[in-house]
Structure 1
Amino acid sequence: MEKKGKKEEPVRNKTVDVVADSNYSIISPEYNKAFRAWRNNEKNEYAFRCRKREGEAVYVEGVGYHAQDPAAEERRAMIRINMIIGIGMLFYLLIEHLLPAILMSLVHLLGVDVSYCYSDGTVYGNQMVVLVILMLKTLLKYLVPICIFRRSFRMPRQVAYHLKPVVPRDVPISTFVTLVVFAVANVWLLFSPINVLRTSTLGSAYYTVSYMDHSYQIIYLLFELFMVCVMQEVLIHGDMLHVLRQFGDWHAIILTAFMAVCMTPSYVTALMELTFAIVSGISVIRSGSLLIPILNRILYHLLLFLFFIMEIWPNQVLYSYRLLMMLGILLIGILGCLLLIRPSKQNPALMPQKHYISGKERIRLLFHMGPLAIIFFLCALLMVIEVIL
């Protein structure tokens, strides 16, 4: 009697579709639809997409038939994106350090006396002209890379610039977390032998226009507080964050945080910029809104400026209570977080993304020869020069 052979199971073709496997359920359906459409666009060379089915090959004109490799597709998209980010940030640094000299040369041709002091990095001369030079430099150093990212990535507006929070409860939560981060990251400033607060955004802005009339000072400080905060968040957590998100949420948050540090290459502000940028990136992904980190950045800089004012104004009473104020900010932030944060498995902070190349290779790609590698080198060089001088 013959034994019956085992029933053979049908061979199932394994399909890989990295876009379909991505999970953005925490964000609104409009976000999901727009983001998936952007990634599925065959003409989009900055999207990481790969549809692979075992046993099948795809014909590519000029190449022939080949089996798609998710790792190769991910590596190719990451290199292209890193190249554009590096170019945008390179323009940022060039405008920051070279444009004032160019503008002053043009102003000199018109017979206006304007000079630059290298010891304190301040422009002196006609107050109106100096104010225009400073504001024009600041606008261009943000708008140029923003335009480069918009023109290259073509990210949908409902993805990169969505303002209405999808999760309204995250608005107060992110504010309280910002207070905690502010206190933890800056409490050491109260005991620092150097005036670190001067190098913060509004502190540096105040010293830049300290010799001007009060009206010019107010205009420039309000410009730095509101306009600059908006442009910083648009640059870091607009197109850049969301185009990197296709490689994983943590990859996008950490890399944009390092870009925020590169925008202000100073060893004394690196910690505060890094920590705040990480919190802002998480709040954008959690809430789906760019407005929340903008408001939190304004609050963060206002608090820094408050402690800075205590140092330059001769008020010993306020100065002696700085530590208590910092501890009070920390306590308010902790209490607010404890009251509002509710863990939920259905509403995780960050979504896991399937990836095909290792973390070590991702780091290697960041330092691959190109504009982004130059940015890291220049920022490290500027920090070393700051320490020496």
Structure 2
Amino acid sequence: MQAHHIDVVADFTYNSHNSNYNRDYKSWRSTNKLPCMYRFSGDPRAAVYVTGDAVSRPTAKNTERLALMKCSEKIGIALLIVLLTELIGGSVAIWILRRMHLDIQLDPISLSMVGSPWLLTAVRCLLLLLKYGIPALLLIQICRIPRKVALPIMRGGLREEVAAVGFAMTAAAVYSIFGASAGVQAAQEIFTHKDFSAITAAGLFDAVIGSFLAELLMRGAILQLLRQFGDHFAVSTTAVLAFLLPNALPDRIGELLIGLMAGYLMLKGGSIMKCVHLRVVYVSLCYARLMLIYTEQVMPLWQYALLLSSFGTLLLAYYAVVQENPFRLDNRKTQLAAGEKLFAMTQTVTTLPWLAAAALVTLFQIFY
């Protein structure tokens, strides 16, 4: 029996509900000549494959491993920027502003910023831009990700919108349960400034602009690069990367859930706006939870979590009924096994130090 010709790009399944995204993603993988593109073709009998950088490799596995390492190298740069901004961005901003004789300082006990409400709002907004915006734009630029791939938009898609709201409510319910004992300090830090306009501006920026920039980085850039190596691998790895970013444990759990849910919606619906809507609803519900805490729990948190989980379950049940194969993703297997992919990702000079630092910060924040 004659062996068939192998073409990774042609054999890939492009089946999101957005036909334009399917076409643009396939075109990007077919034409981009960067080494980070996983693209090989050839006759299995010859055992020679051509990668994205037009260099022949002896085996398909070696081709995939090298392409994944190139992707991981670029992703590591973006994640290092996120990590540094989260760890020292606030301190650097305070130092610069204090040199300008502005009313802001760092509380040595809570490690939170105190000062003028509007100045605090401006600093937090700036840090969000630096944390997500700069890495996202840098990664999109160096990997030459087209706008239509990084920001695919599809009008309509009511079913995915329903799923996005259901996912967001479910994630917010889980966050409310795990963060029940950690919300008092956060609520006091946010709402004790007594400047409602500054609080509103900060909340809106976080919920809308922050959500868009976070999804642009995680789903618009990182997920698109990793999708070459399998849908399940891309969704789960992106979610784990978000979990490892510096945060309190409840926030990490929320980011993990959002990563899984938004990644699924991105690949299923082919529209990044569904992911943004999911995160906007999630962040808004988390702020609503803080308001409940600050107002001495007009509604007990367990009732709030139960209400969210009930409505979220109903919406997801509706989505499961009206959507054919609702929670299935294709492109499950590539040449490398999951363990081999994870090992390849950690073998670069940018990802390895980020992973080590993120793991240390995670252990410190969880246990101390």
Same-fold status (TM-score > 0.5): yes
**Which residue is equivalent to 1:339?**
318
Tell me, yes or no, if the aligned pair for 2:21 and 2:148 is still in contact at 8 Å: yes
Q: Which moved more, 1:172-181 or 1:228-237?
A: 172-181
How far is the alpha carbon of 1:189 from its aligned partner? 4.2
**Which residue is equivalent to 1:351?**
330
Alignment partners' CA distance in 2, 1:54 and 1:232: 41
| Identity value in percent | 21
The residue type paired with residue 251 of structure 1 is F
**Which residue is equivalent to 2:273?**
291
The residue type paired with residue 111 of structure 2 is G
1:107-146 matched pairs, under 5 angstroms: 107-146=97-136
Alignment partners' CA distance in 1, 2:153 and 2:140: 17
Runs of 5+ unmatched residues, structure 1: 1-10
Q: Which moved more, 1:272-281 or 1:366-375?
A: 366-375
The reply on whether 1:363 has 2:342 as its aligned counterpart is: yes
How far is the alpha carbon of 1:24 from its aligned partner? 0.8
The reply on whether 1:183 has 2:162 as its aligned counterpart is: no
How far is the alpha carbon of 1:348 from its aligned partner? 6.5
1:1-389 matched pairs, under 5 angstroms: 12-41=2-31, 43-56=33-46, 68-165=58-155, 167-184=157-174, 186-190=176-180, 194-196=181-183, 203=187, 207=189, 210-211=192-193, 213-314=195-296, 318-320=298-300, 322-342=301-321, 349-387=328-366, 389=368
Alignment partners' CA distance in 1, 2:169 and 2:99: 48
Tell me, yes or no, if the aligned pair for 1:197 and 1:304 is still in contact at 8 Å: no
Alignment partners' CA distance in 1, 2:212 and 2:57: 45
Alignment partners' CA distance in 1, 2:100 and 2:4: 70
Alignment partners' CA distance in 2, 1:385 and 1:86: 21
Secondary structure at the counterpart of residue 42 of structure 2: strand
Alignment partners' CA distance in 2, 1:367 and 1:97: 22
Alignment partners' CA distance in 1, 2:123 and 2:322: 49
Tell me, yes or no, if the aligned pair for 2:37 and 2:67 is still in contact at 8 Å: yes
Secondary structure at the counterpart of residue 321 of structure 2: coil
**Which residue is equivalent to 1:8?**
none
**Could you give the per-residue CA deviations for residues 312-333 of structure 1, whole angstroms, max 9, x where no partner exists?**
2135xx244x323322322222
Tell me, yes or no, if the aligned pair for 1:366 and 1:372 is still in contact at 8 Å: yes
Q: Which moved more, 1:169-178 or 1:224-233?
A: 169-178
Tell me, yes or no, if the aligned pair for 1:123 and 1:208 is still in contact at 8 Å: no
Based on CA coordinates, which of the two structures has the bigger radius of gyration? 1
Alignment CA distance shift 1:180-1:96 (3 Å): closer
Secondary structure at the counterpart of residue 368 of structure 1: coil
Runs of 5+ unmatched residues, structure 2: none
Give the paired residue count: 365
The residue type paired with residue 156 of structure 1 is P
**Could you give the per-residue CA deviations for residues 72-99 of structure 1, whole angstroms, max 9, x where no partner exists?**
1110110011111111010111122223
Q: CA RMSD in A?
A: 2.9
How far is the alpha carbon of 1:264 from its aligned partner? 3.8
Give the TM-score normalised by the residue count of structure 1. Answer: 0.83
Alignment partners' CA distance in 1, 2:100 and 2:111: 23
Secondary structure at the counterpart of residue 187 of structure 1: helix
Give the TM-score normalised by the residue count of structure 2. Answer: 0.88
Tell me, yes or no, if the aligned pair for 2:80 and 2:354 is still in contact at 8 Å: yes
